[in-house]
Chain A
Amino acid sequence: MKKTVDVSLPIGPVHPCFKEPARIKCETAGERVLSAEVELGYVKKGIERIMVGRPWQEVMFLAERICGICSVIHNMVFIETVERISNIDVPQRAAYLRVIVNELDRIQSHLLANYSYCYTIEHETLAMYLINLRETALDQLELITGARITCAYIIPGGVRFDLKQEDSLKLSSAMDKIEEDLSRFTAIFEGGPMISLRSKDVGILTRDDAIVSHAVGPTARASGLNADQRTNHPTYQKLGFKPVVMNSCDNYARVMMRFKEVFQSIELIRKCIKELPEGVIRGGGVVGEGEFTWIGEAPRGELTYHVKTDKYGRVIEIGIQTPSIMNIEACAHHMLKGVDSAADVTSTFISSDPCIACNER
């Protein structure tokens, strides 16, 4: 059949639904999308280029500023790479505290992603509930690390601050609050008839397409792929982590996936608080010469750091692969194809939780 294109529909770069500038170019017949393309490059800063030749103490803060939403995991993966280069051991207590902070960051990131999705499908009530709940998670992050967004909590050989007894009580009660509220909001999302009309069977990414486009993170797990780098992390292995996998492949699955992962993160944090070992939070060590590649699981998928340092601890080569680029590829070439209306284009794009700042660096 010959492809007939009625309108070439551009969306963005400044759009009410997007947190960041990106441009989607859709070729449509009527309102049906035949093909789509995502144009990037609006926030390219060249961070990797300015990282080269700098001591790790500076690169650590630059790594954190790659993305403001998932700043903890960028910090964590970079520091873990540096630790593996220089054979620095982490005290057990610090390793557990890292998991707590990382999971808190995941909770706030997932709640923000689901807020964006609900806002895009014009369910503003649920959106406001979710972003208000996110503040509770941010409060706990601030309580532990001292900052809301850019924490710089994780350092080679440990973490900066200890978790005090009263703070862990506050953390537990905040987890109870998040779980109680979120189970109510998840029920709203599951039961809403308009929500299922807008979300179910929209933006299908089949398992095969997910494999072809190398989708990662919640986008891949909602399509039935068991891809979670936390299973390779020693501390998560000790906690008995098992990834959540869903098979329905649509927007609804991707959003429900994130809700389920928040519950899972809450359980992980509870387990960490219960099993938190006593001891020091900072070991010690000197960053030396070497080269290593380490993969961690960011809220959006797997995050790879390849770092090469010289004997003074300066970074002489660095390569970063962030999760969103694969998910944007999956979104543009598979999910958006065959979407029925222009309104579904933005909601499908947001459901894959793209992080443009991560992507372009």
Chain B
Amino acid sequence: MGIIQSIKNKVRQRSIHVCYVNVGSCNGCDIEILACLSPRYDIEQYGIYVHNNPREADILLITGAFCEQWEDKLADLWEMIPEPKAAITIGNCPVSGCTFNRRGSFVNPPVSKHIPVAASIPGCPPRPTEIIETILQLAPLVFKDYEEKK
């Protein structure tokens, strides 16, 4: 392992920037992401920062059942994020559409049809601890030795 790679590994371990996007959720999952920010769960002690700016994000959190409005927009948003990157879906909606996936509704799940998804957290909504745990487990798999893996 090169010296630059080892420095990058070290830095990336404690600096994971997160952007979240709501593609048609009921707000339940979004506020569970917000709850992660609270001092009780304190997401920043693990070096995870919620910025909500796709251009400086490493991980994209997606909530919601994918409404028609996002058909072209989510792919653009995904393109904006610099490599290395990963997408995590939160809740049942991005996986299956949950209760909204019925005939006549305006949703088009799953989200993995539109962009590559690295991990999914099922639950309606999942607990904040599960969200933090998933990010922490996924981050080393994606970011460690990223340049040398290629």
Where the two chains meet, the residues of A that have a C-beta atom closer than 8 Å to any C-beta of B are 13-16, 19-21, 41-47, 49-50, 58, 61-62, 65-69, 71, 112, 115, 128, 131-132, 134-135, 138, 148-150, 355, 357-358
Contact = CB atoms under 8 A, between A and B. Distances in A.
Contacts of B134: none
B38 A132 contact: yes
A14 B55 CA distance: 12
Given A65-B99, A112-B34, A42 B69 contact: yes
Interface string B29-56: 1111011011110000000000111100
Contact of A15 (B39, B52, B77): B52
B28 A68 contact: yes
Contacts, number: 118
A123 B150 CA distance: 43
Contacts of B137: none
Nearest to A21: B22
A320 to B, nearest CB: 13
Given A16-B53, A50-B100, A42 B70 contact: yes
Contact of B106 (A45, A58, A66): A45
Which residue, of A42, A61, A128, A148, has the highest number of chain B Cβ atoms within 10 A? A42
Nearest to A13: B73
Contacts of A68: 25-31, 125
A128 B27 contact: no
Interface of B: 19, 21-32, 34-35, 37-40, 51-54, 64-65, 67-70, 73, 77, 98-100, 102-107, 124-125, 127
A15 B19 CA distance: 10
Given A112-B31, A132-B38, A135-B35, A16 B51 contact: yes
Given A21-B22, A132-B39, A150-B124, A44 B106 contact: yes
A49 B22 CA distance: 21
A45 B127 CA distance: 24
Contacts of A150: 28, 124-125
A13 B20 CA distance: 12
Contacts of B68: 44
Contacts of B37: 128, 131
Contacts of B100: 45, 47, 50, 65
A76 B63 CA distance: 25
A46 B105 contact: yes
Contacts of A44: 24, 67-69, 106
Contact of A49 (B51, B70, B105): B105
B125 A42 contact: no
A46 B106 CA distance: 6
B104 A49 contact: yes
Contacts of A14: 19, 21, 52, 54, 77
Contact of B26 (A41, A58, A112, A357): A357
Given A43-B64, A150-B125, A131 B24 contact: no
12 contacts: A13-B73, A14-B19, A19-B31, A20-B27, A20-B30, A62-B99, A68-B26, A68-B31, A135-B38, A138-B35, A149-B32, A355-B27
Contacts of B31: 19, 68-69, 112, 149
Contacts of B32: 148-149
Contacts of B124: 65, 150
Contacts of A50: 100, 102-105
Given A131-B34, A132-B38, A135-B38, A47 B105 contact: yes
A128 B52 contact: no
Of B27, B31, B64, chain A has the most CB atoms within 10 Å of the CB of B27
B26 A67 contact: yes
Given A14-B21, A150-B125, A67 B27 contact: yes
